[in-house]
Amino acid sequence: MKRDRLYPLSHAPVDFHFRQTPADFVVTEIPLYTFSNEGEHLVLKIRKKSLTTWQMVDILSSHLGIKARDIGYAGLKDKDAMTIQYISLNRKYEERAKEFSHPQIKVIESFYHSNKIRTGHLKGNRFFIRLKKVNPTDAKKIESLLEWIGKNGMPNYFGYQRFGREGDNYKIAQEIIEGKRRVRDRKRRDFLISAYQSHLFNLWLSKRVEISRIFDGLKLKELKQIFEWNDEVIKKVAGEGHFFKLFPGDVASHYPHGKLFTIGNIKSESKRMQNREISPTGPLSGIKVKHSTGIAWEIEKEFIKDVPAQGSRRYAWIWPEDIEGRYKDREAHFELNFTLPKGSYATVLLEMVANRPIMEDR
């Protein structure tokens, strides 16, 4: 499979073994709001392992005797992991919920709230990850790379999980769009098409990271020989303090949430990006997606396709928070914790550290 994720740093690949299992990969949801303990909805804090969120919901709906759509959740969580997340249901099912028992699902805590949890009602996720077969030299490299990420952030790629076991389910979506294949299951068809949107986004972001690396590594005179842009624009882009370069016409958003706007003055906006106040966004091709303009559009348009789905934009750059790392030399393990905004992939951070595909470790 062709790798569609280029990273900012060009260090030699770091050797470690990572396998996504419940023992070595733990995800804890950070709710968007505090539960009031009043209202008609019962909120359950649940720990699950080796199940998708959909599988968990099906098991719970069967036990409670309610429809799956009546169970609210904020986001989908990995199957090959231990995950702690929140679901909601009508309070009248509280007694049935107390009787629930399953070897892979445990109710840790319960609350009441005034509204149903819906997709997106999530601030972020806290991760615990254990890397194995790490020698002392590579442990030092990992510590240094985590320090760089903590200071500078990282590209917000979709991770390998988004693209299926073989990493190429977006190709099926291409065939669906081109009329070469039919998929009757609507949920699966929508998922495949969204994977195609994700693939195009990754290609766009990889191109922007490539351009940023060029600006990061060359002098102004050399840049003017490569890019056929106005000399003043090249000078301004080269003068930006952040690794990921902004261009006139980029569509950005206030960070970590806010409305979209088009960048005009890259000098002032790059300072806001350094302060983590804004982040540029990339396109998820589809209906009604807001496009960039100017130089940013000249780059973006190559990755825009006609996709029969709702279009939107996604942060191109994010800043992991509260990064912690510990090396256990006796076990040759490196353990790390960090927090990411919703929709971002922990495995992307690992891949940036490794500077190689980590899907092969599975």
| Tokens 């940013």 belong to residue | 296
Kindly report the number of other CB atoms within 10 A of residue 32's CB atom: 16
Rounded to 5 degrees, what are φ and ψ at 48? -130, 160
The end-to-end CA distance of the chain, in Å, is 15
Closest CA to 56 of 112, 113, 107, 125: 107
**Which active-site residues does the annotation give?**
78
Name 129's bridge partners.
25, 336
Name 82's bridge partners.
26, 49
- Give how far Cα 142 sits from Cα of 264, 317, 352, 360, Å: 37, 20, 10, 19
Identity (one letter) of the amino acid at 345?
Y
Closest CA to 8 of 349, 339, 358, 323: 349
Q: What CA dihedral angle connects 108, 111, 116 and 121, to 10 degrees?
A: -70
